[in-house]
Amino acid sequence: MAQPEQVAEIAQEELPASKGVGEAPLANPAKPKMVTRDVNVHYGEKHALRGVNLDINANQVTALIGPSGCGKSTYLRCLNRMNDVIDGCRVTGELHLDNEDIYDPRLDVVQLRARVGMVFQKPNPFPKSIFDNIAYGPRIHGIGRNRTDVEEIVESSLRKAGLWEEVKDRLDGPGTGLSGGQQQRLCIARAIAVSPEVILMDEPCSALDPIATARIEELIDDLRRNFTIVIVTHSMQQAARVSQRTAFFHLGELVEEGDTDAVFTVPKDKRTQGYITGRFG
Ligand SMILES: Nc1ncnc2c1ncn2[C@@H]1O[C@H](COP(=O)(O)OP(=O)(O)OP(=O)(O)O)[C@@H](O)[C@H]1O
């Protein structure tokens, strides 16, 4: 939870102007990549998410914010059916990825999770070499016909994750031998290696120091050229820095969503205002 003085900083800090103006123009930034309607989640008797309607725009970063236990991670996990693996968890509603119903029983969940990848709070490299951490996904998905193809995927994924220069001479070394920030970039490279369309990030910087956090935030901004990103964060500064859209959850409801600068400067709902000004959380 951000402290009130940090919130004051946000209010004073000029929010980033429209991002993504670089050499490569973005694809239509407001096109929804995922559309979710009337999403309800129960864990047994517990009604954890209530009637959530939210669009996730293509090539944008959407930040999910709100006090602990409000349902951010639960919503995030709906987007690639990670809740399926939780006993007693029931998801209802409509969740579409490019007009395709991701809860269609005929859908291949393994393929869905390749299209909608995930990066967790704590970096979790496999106990394998750096090379094999990245090559694992392409191999099990049958991407890359031979060793050269796989080597190319490994290099390009590490480059996109901003890690290539740091590890190119130690690809056979263990992934777990990297620093925390490097491990998280390795996990991002691992997610990228199977060419996902959407990347879900659940508090990806919470285990990192400020320098490693800044690198991941820069990386997130770069990645949105090629991917659609949804990030859960407890840091309102981080939401303000990295996202174009922000969704505020409270007690299982989506209270408000909109352009990040609007949500932080002129929130429509008193609960959002209370949260971003540090009155509760
Ligand atoms: N596996 C589970 N079984 C039972 N209840 C759960 C489970 N996971 C989450 N919940 C409950 O669902 C609600 C939403 O939890 P969730 O983890 O989605 O919130 P959150 O906003 O991500 O919280 P935090 O910011 O603390 O991570 C909470 O009341 C939580 O206790």
Q: Evaluate whether residue 47 is within a structural domain.
A: yes
Q: Is residue 152 part of a domain?
A: no
What is the whole-number distance in angstroms between the Cα of residue 138 and the centre of ligand 1?
32
59, 26 in Cβ contact below 8 A?
Answer: yes
User: In this structure, are residues 221 and 213 in contact, taking their beta carbons and an 8 Å threshold?
Assistant: no
Q: Which helix (H) or strand (E) holds 131?
A: helix 130-140
Q: Would you say residue 10 has pLDDT above 50?
A: no
At residue 30 the predicted structure's pLDDT band, cuts being 50, 70 and 90, is confident
Is 221 within a domain?
Answer: yes
Question: Cα angle at 97 between 95 and 100, to 5 degrees?
Answer: 85
> Average pLDDT, stretch 41-64?
98
- pLDDT-derived band at 80, boundaries 50, 70, 90: very high
Per residue in 118-132, pLDDT (tens digit) is 999 999 999 999 999
Average pLDDT of every residue of the chain: 89
Q: Is the residue at 168 inside a domain?
A: no
CA distance 63 to 76: 10
* Rounded alpha-carbon distances, angstroms, from residue 78 to 23, 37, 93, 196: 34, 12, 10, 16
Rounded CA gap, 20 and 33, in Å?
17
Report CA(177)–ligand 1 centroid distance (Å).
31
- Ligand 1 atom with the shortest distance to the CA of 74: 18
Query: Measuring from atom 2 of ligand 1, which residue has the nearest CA?
Result: 43
CA distance 144 to 153: 8
Pocket-testing residue among 41, 46, 86, ligand 1, by greatest number of atoms within 8 A of Cβ: 46
| Main-chain dihedrals φ then ψ at residue 11, nearest 5 degrees | -60, -35
Residues of the chain with pLDDT > 70, as a percent, come to 89
Task: Provide the 8-state DSSP code for 129.
Answer: B
Closest atom of ligand 1 to CA, residue 70: 21
- For 48-67, what is the mean pLDDT? 98
Alpha carbons 194 and 153: distance in angstroms, whole number: 9
Q: How far apart are the first and last CA of the chain?
A: 6
pLDDT above 50: residue 19: no
Domain membership of residue 190 (yes or no) is: no
User: Residue 281's pLDDT is what?
Assistant: 62
Whether residue 130 is contained in a domain is answered as: no
**Cβ-count burial of 146 within 10 angstroms (0-12 exposed, 13-18 middle, 19+ buried)?**
exposed
User: Three-state SS for 148?
Assistant: helix
Q: Which atom from ligand 1 is nearest to the alpha carbon of 203?
A: 27
* Residue 213 clears pLDDT 60, i.e. is over it: yes
Q: Look at ligand 1, atom 28, and give the residue with the nearest C-alpha.
A: 69
Per-residue model confidence (pLDDT) at position 207: 87
Tens of pLDDT, residues 86-107:
999 999 999 999 999 999 999 9
Q: Whose CA is nearest to atom 14 of ligand 1?
A: 71
Structural tokens at position 210:
């400020």
Supply the DSSP symbol for 25.
P
User: pLDDT exceeding 90 applies to what percent of the chain?
Assistant: 82
Across the range 220-244, mean pLDDT stands at 95
Provide the pLDDT for residue 1.
39
Structural domain including 225 reads 4-125+196-276
Q: State the pLDDT at residue 133.
A: 97
Residue 29: pLDDT band with limits 50, 70, 90: low
Q: Which of 42, 47, 74, 91 to mutate to test the pocket of ligand 1 (most atoms within 8 A of CB)?
A: 74
Number of domains in the chain: 1
Protein residues with CB under 6 Å of any ligand 1 atom: 43, 46, 48, 66, 68-74, 86
Task: State the CATH number of the domain containing residue 237.
Answer: 3.40.50.300
CA of 18 to the centre of ligand 1 (A): 33
